[in-house]
Structure formats: C-alpha cells, structure tokens
Amino acid sequence: MACKVRLVSVCASLSVDELELLDALAHETVFPARETLFTQGQPAHSVYNITAGVVRLYKLLPDGRRQIVGFALPGDFLGLAMRDAFGFSADAIDTVTACAFSRSAYSALVDEKPHLLRRLHQFATHELTLAQEQMMLLGRRTAEEKLICFLLAMQERWAKLGKPSVTVPLPMSRQDIADFLGLTIETVSRTFTKLAKDKTILIVPDGVRLMNLDHMAHVAA
C-alpha cells in the first residue's frame, strides 16, 4: 500500500506485520470533488483514513442552516467515535482518496492491539482539544479574529503535513469558511478584503499568502 500519510496517521504506531494485517482490511477509494463520503445518521459501516484531498465535515439543521465542524486533511481519521451511526456528514471538496476499512473488522483489530487503541485515543483527545478551541472561537471571537485564527490554523496543519509555507492553500469555498466560522459568506468576503487592504494577507488563486505573521499571531493571542 502506497500510503503517503502513514507517518503522521493512526498507522504510525504499528509494526510491519500489523501493517500487513491492516493492508488486508483496507481498500483505497477515490471520491471526486463534491461527492459525499457519508451522511449524518447513516450506519457507519466503514471508517476512513484520508490520504489525499480535503473533506468537509458538517452538521445540518432541519431548516438548512449548516455548521462545518471541521476540515479533514490527509492523515485525518474519520470514524473515531466508533458508534453505530455517523454524527456528521462528510463530502469531498477536491478529489479525495481515502483508505476505507470495514468497521467490524477494524474494531476487531483494535480490540487485539492496545497500542492501536492508544493511538486512536490520542487522536480523539487531540480532536477534542481542537473542538474546545473552536468553541472559544465561535462563542467569543470577532469576525476578523475568527478568520485570522482559521488561516493560522490551516497554515499549521499544512506545515505538519510537510508543506510549511507562508502561502496557505484554501481549496474550500467562501461559503464553507463562513459555515465553519459561524459567519455569512458576505462577512467572510469583506473580512478577506479588509485583511488584504491592511497588507496582512495577499489573496492568491485558491489560497492566501500571509504577509504579517506577527500581527496575526498577536490577534490570535
């Protein structure tokens, strides 16, 4: 299996023979842009490890209001909760490839390999920490702070994946960013233009270049 994210992902805790077991369970799947990986409430037959592309994870209210609870990047694992149904929907923003595992086989393997469970638990608590950060952001920060924190967080995530750069790729739409930050698309757009006028950022195709990291880090506090 030519898994590019092995070192940063759940699999990093496994030995060679354990990886072979995992290989037997995995089957790589490609999702074209805009395709749904799974829907909230749907029985979770599979769990996924993203290997390329970006996925949006979101919840919907009956009237259509949407909250994006996260963006999954390569190395991220979907299905941590190990419950019978997915707690959110997921769809591909660009072309996504993922390792899919049948949940029953996967959870049997987890039962036998405590250090795989340990790794999973580390992932879960890391996610929980991020979720609490996001609560602070959603509940108490201004629009400008929200956007700055988002850009810095995306930069850091790409950096951890071996793409450290002051130019941050943003494959998701403005609407996606709005739904992640609890804002409207218009406010996101205006805030981008304001930051660009400030020379804090430079807007480039499908992304942004961070021009004043000091100021941004200061605002993010």
Partner DNA sequence: GCCCCGCATTGATCTAGATCAAAACCGCGC
Partner DNA sequence: GCGCGGTTTTGATCTAGATCAATGCGGGGC
Nearest alpha carbon to residue 86 among 110, 60, 105: 60
- According to the binding rule CB under 7 A, does residue 203 interact with DNA? yes
**Which segment (18-26, 60-68, 157-165, 167-175) binds a second copy by CB under 8 A?**
60-68
- According to the binding rule CB under 8 A, does residue 191 interact with a second copy? no
Q: Cβ of residue 18: shortest distance to DNA, in angstroms?
A: 42
| Alpha helices, DSSP H, located in the chain | 16-25, 103-112, 114-140, 143-160, 174-181, 185-197, 213-220
- According to the binding rule CB under 8 A, does residue 175 interact with a second copy? no
Residues 194, 197, 200, 201, CA torsion sign:
positive
Dihedral of the alpha carbons of 162, 90, 139, 220, in degrees to the nearest 10:
10
- With CB cut-offs between 5 and 8 Å by kind, which of DNA, a second copy, none does residue 118 bind? a second copy
- According to the binding rule CB under 7 A, does residue 183 interact with DNA? yes
Candidates 27, 121, 160, 199; binder of a second copy (CB under 8 A) is: 121
Residues 6+ apart with CB under 8 A from 148: 195, 200, 216, 219, 220
* Number of other CB atoms surrounding residue 82 within 10 Å: 13
| Alpha-carbon span 195 to 128, nearest angstrom | 30
- According to the binding rule CB under 8 A, does residue 207 interact with a second copy? no
**Which segment (12-20, 88-96, 178-186, 211-219) binds DNA by CB under 7 A?**
178-186
- According to the binding rule CB under 8 A, does residue 124 interact with a second copy? yes
- According to the binding rule CB under 8 A, does residue 87 interact with a second copy? yes
Residues 6+ apart with CB under 8 A from 2: none
Q: Cβ of residue 23: shortest distance to DNA, in angstroms?
A: 35
- With CB cut-offs between 5 and 8 Å by kind, which of DNA, a second copy, none does residue 174 bind? DNA
**Residue number, 98 or 149, with CB nearest to a second copy:** 149
**Residue number, 28 or 127, with CB nearest to a second copy:** 127
Joined tokens for residue 34: 């805009």
| Alpha-carbon span 12 to 184, nearest angstrom | 39
**Which segment (3-11, 30-38, 45-53, 56-64) binds a second copy by CB under 8 A?**
56-64
For residue 12, the 8-state DSSP code is: G
At position 57, the amino acid (one-letter code) is L
Which residues bind to a second copy, rule: CB under 8 A?
A: 59, 61-63, 65-67, 69, 80-83, 87-88, 111, 114, 117-118, 120-122, 124-129, 131-136, 138-141, 179, 181-182, 221
